Amino acid sequence: MSDQSNQRASGAFVFNNIVRFLFAASLLIVMSAIYQHDSDGGSHYIHPRRAMQ
C-alpha cells in the first residue's frame, strides 16, 4: 500500500513539473513574440507617449 501511494505522489510531482515547464515555456514564447513585435522598426503600432509628443 505504501508503494502505491508513493508512486502516485511521484506521478503527481512529475505532472506538476510538466505543467510548470509548459507554462513557463509558453510565457517565454509570448514574451519574446511581444518583444520582437515591439522592437520592430516598421511596425504600424503607435505608442501613446510618442503620439502625444
pLDDT digit string (tens) for 11-44? 888 999 999 999 999 999 998 887 776 665 555 5
Q: CB neighbours of 38 closer than 8 A, spacing ≥ 6?
A: 45
- Residue 29 is predicted with a pLDDT of 92
Closest CA to 20 of 31, 12, 30: 12
Cα–Cα distance, 25 to 21 (Å, whole number): 6
Please check whether residue 43 is in contact with residue 37, taking contact to mean a CB–CB distance below 8 angstroms: yes
Q: Where are the domains of the chain?
A: 1-35
Q: Give the pTM.
A: 0.51
